[in-house]
Amino acid sequence: MSTEPIELIDHGGPSRLALISATVVGIVLVVFIGVLATSDGQQGLGPSPLIGELTPPIVGETVDGSVYDIQSQRGRWVVVNFFSTTCIPCIVEHPELVAFDEDHRDVGDASVVSIAFSDPSQNVIEFFAENGGEWPVLAANTGEHAINFGVAAVPETYLVAPTGIVTTKFVGGITQDDIELEIGRLSGAPQAGGQ
């Protein structure tokens, strides 16, 4: 039996694999960050199986304690906005929704409803108190609404025609002009506000 020590030789096994893996992950992250940096945050219109279909029911208690039912909005356009108080594009688009609502509230031809996405009611109440907005907001038990609309991430906004048919899905932050132009395109007439 030999008493010579056994020499371990490192052929670059696991540590070399770790280095290669880290390099690949780094390259992927650099590309991803580059895509995000050059994106304007506006995703635009998105596909949805709901387009051309009757809107899913939206019934629930609002943060002010009243009951909202989208069926009561028949005869006017409805902007259904899924948002979160911590989502940066949601925060950026909020003044646009306020302006749209203010331009259409007295006329009565369009309304807004917001549905909080995984956001505590108190955060939503504070957000609206600080940032304005006088439309119905649902914050409790909203998961079913998100599922029914197929919401993947916020913000997502749906435009519902006066007939109750979903016409458009906006993915990402929107502007008042986005909504006005889409209503004008669908109705064949220019809309007030934002233009």
**Is 23 domain-assigned?**
no
pLDDT of amino acid 32: 35
Report the CATH number at residue 84: 3.40.30.10
| CA–CA gap between residue 132 and residue 99 (Å, rounded) | 10
Digit-coded pLDDT (tens) for 148-185: 999 989 999 999 999 999 999 999 999 999 999 999 99
Asked whether residue 46 carries a pLDDT value surpassing 70, the answer given is: yes
Radius of gyration, alpha carbons of the chain: 24
pLDDT of amino acid 115: 98
| CA–CA gap between residue 164 and residue 137 (Å, rounded) | 19
Q: How many domains does the chain have?
A: 1
Please say whether the beta carbons of 163 and 82 come within 8 A.
Answer: no
**Is 100 domain-assigned?**
yes
pLDDT-wise least confident of 18-32, 40-54, 69-83 = 18-32
**Is 14 domain-assigned?**
no
Phi and psi angles of residue 146, each rounded to the nearest 5 degrees, phi first: -60, -40
**Is 2 domain-assigned?**
no
- Number of other residues whose CB lies within 10 A of the CB of residue 191: 24
Token pair in block for residue 83: 């948002």
- The secondary structure element, H or E, covering residue 80 is strand 77-83
Confidence class for position 36, pLDDT limits 50, 70, 90: very low
Confidence class for position 28, pLDDT limits 50, 70, 90: very low
Digit-coded pLDDT (tens) for 110-124: 999 999 998 999 999
**Is 10 domain-assigned?**
no
pTM of this structure: 0.74
pLDDT-wise least confident of 6-10, 94-98, 133-137 = 6-10
Phi and psi angles of residue 156, each rounded to the nearest 5 degrees, phi first: -135, 140
Domain that holds residue 121: 42-187
Q: What is the average pLDDT across 55-79? A: 97
Q: CA end-to-end span of the chain, whole Å? A: 93
pLDDT of amino acid 48: 84
Asked whether residue 37 carries a pLDDT value surpassing 70, the answer given is: no
Digit-coded pLDDT (tens) for 133-158: 999 999 998 999 999 999 989 999 99
